[in-house]
Amino acid sequence: SVVTQECYVQNTAREYAKLYAAEAEPLEGFGEVPEIIPIFLIHRPANNIPYATVEEELVGEFVKYSVKDGKELNFLRRDSEAGQKCCTFQHWVYEKTNGNLLVTDLQGVGMKLTDVGIATLAKGYKGFKGNCSFSFIEQFRALHQCNEYCEMLGLKSLRTTHQKQRKATSTKSKNLPNSSTVKKMVPKKAREPRDFISSEH
């Protein structure tokens, strides 16, 4: 049922969030880490809707840090600490699962999140199938901008591969006269800070 699936997805995302916290919390200057609250399935045999979910009530301003369709970027994602850490969490999961899984619909109050979704490739990931379309993974890859928390965790920039080549035609003539040799020699690391700086302003 949809309700069971909802529990399964949120609690799976919660496990990833715990692993993320374990890695991020000890880092100097990282601070508080987003948490996905648990959701419980209850059976009510006497009720005409026999299954329901129960979770902690979140009190405060409810914010959508990342919505299903990656094109609708909520400005609070980039401007708030919680929003940036949610973006980093998505990047961390994406990297950990080799691009096979992405936690979507990050929303909640402050650092406490609920009602999340998960997108997986069609075949799923380690026997798990998400409840969101694979296109969210593609959108994430195209739209994610690394921030200082991505840097702290040492995550690899997603702005390499096909996007760099597509943009290459416009930048080649300006600053890389001999781009083919330069491209091979410039290590990825040297190019990352540029992405990082531009996304900060």
pLDDT tens-digit series, residues 98-122: 999 999 999 999 999 999 999 999 8
Q: In the predicted model, what is the mean pLDDT of residues 173-196?
A: 42
pLDDT of residue 167: 47
pLDDT confidence of 69, banded at 50, 70, 90? low
Contact 140, 90 (CB under 8 A): yes
Highest averaged pLDDT of the listed ranges 116-125, 155-164, 188-197: 116-125
Cα–Cα distance for residue pair 88/21, rounded to 1 Å: 11
Nearest CA to 190 among 166, 162, 167, 157? 157
CA atoms within a 13 Å half-sphere pointing along the CA-CB vector of 153: 28
Q: In the predicted model, what is the mean pLDDT of residues 148-160?
A: 92
pLDDT tens-digit series, residues 169-184: 444 444 444 444 444 4
Structure-block tokens of residue 159: 């702005």
Q: In the predicted model, what is the mean pLDDT of residues 14-39?
A: 96
- The catalytic residue positions are 105
Task: Look up the pTM and report it.
Answer: 0.75
Q: Which CATH number applies to 2-153? A: 3.20.200.10
Q: Which residues make Cβ contacts (< 8 Å) with residue 151, sequence separation at least 6?
A: 196
Query: What are the sequence ranges of the domains in the chain?
Result: 2-153
pLDDT of residue 74: 55
pLDDT of residue 73: 52
Contact 136, 103 (CB under 8 A): no
